Amino acid sequence: MNLGRLFSLPWSSDPVVCKHSWRVQENERHCTCTFVRCTRCTVVKKLSRCPFHEAGAQERRPARGYSDSMGVFDDGIPQNTTYALELATALADMGAPPFTPGTSVLEVGCGIGRLVPWFLKAGIRYAAVEPDPWARRYVRDAYDVPVTADPLEVMPVEPDSFDLIASLHCLEHVTDADTAFAKMVLAARRYVLIIVPEGWNIWNPDHWWMFTQDVLRTWARNMDLRLYGPAQKRVAEPEDTIYALFERRTAPHGP
């Protein structure tokens, strides 16, 4: 697994998840946050945040501070086990194929690596991208795995770099989620695994994109991907979580 190769080539913008047709989305809370909704895939995108909803934004805090503020950082095992059980249950419910030992995975936005033990226990060859320096250092030191710094939105991607690309609670935080997803599909030899919150709470200050199961179905159809799921579960109040595994139907891009 050579992370250097992943960054060696510029990304082609050919893959398109949706040719968006944006319309203003009404803000029912009457703050000055602004939103648009695509009339084709129905995804909601936040264009700007008002001062009130900007104050607690995740990107203003380091990963350790963000995790501490949520009361979930425990330096290890209990929360990791919960995340792993939730994902394993969702994959089983979707009838998703197992990831065989030796599968290579790149996790985009690994944070503090909640699911790294789950991947490693399955014999999966793990690497990650994480812009936050504290979280990146923690995952490297805790699990002895390669973690690079470049955000997916700006890094060049070589096609077919990994068997599996995973984005777990990450896409909702990037400013260009559909482009990021298309890049993940391009980089994947076979699978793209994503976990996102169900997008009813469009005012969450940490989220720029709001997804539903129908959005993910439309993206899969537009990109000719086989879709396992989506599965939607209530794993924490007040937000539901959506799990989806996409499989490429076409052969890898080749040299």
Tokens of 127: 């690497």
Torsion of CA 180, 185, 188, 193, to 10 degrees: 80
State the chain's mean pLDDT as an integer.
Answer: 82
Question: In this predicted model, which residue has the larger pLDDT, 10 or 88?
Answer: 88
Percentage of the chain beyond pLDDT 70 is 77
Class of domain 3-17+63-248: alpha beta
Query: What is the distance between the alpha carbons of residues 214 and 62, in angstroms, rounded to a whole number?
Result: 33
User: What phi and psi values does residue 225 have, to the nearest 5 degrees?
Assistant: -110, 140
How sure is the predictor about 68, in pLDDT bands with cuts at 50, 70 and 90?
very low
Q: Buried b vs exposed e over 207-228: b needs ≥16 C-beta within 10 Å?
A: bbbbbbbebbebbbebbebebb
- Return the higher-pLDDT residue of 125 and 200: 125
CA–CA dist 114, 79 (Å, integer): 7
Classified as helix, coil or strand, 92 is helix
Q: Per-residue pLDDT tens for 115-167?
A: 999 999 999 999 999 988 998 999 999 999 999 987 766 766 788 999 999 99
Q: Measure the CA–CA gap between 166 and 210, rounded to whole angstroms.
A: 18
Q: What is the pLDDT of residue 7?
A: 39
pLDDT band at residue 211 under the 50/70/90 scheme: very high
- Interhelix angle 63-70/133-143, rounded to 10 degrees, is 80
Q: Mention every residue, 6+ apart, whose C-beta is less than 8 A from residue 134.
A: 62, 63, 64
Q: How is 9-52 classified by DSSP, letter by letter?
A: SPPP----S----EEEEP-TT-SS-EEEEETTT--EEEEE--HH
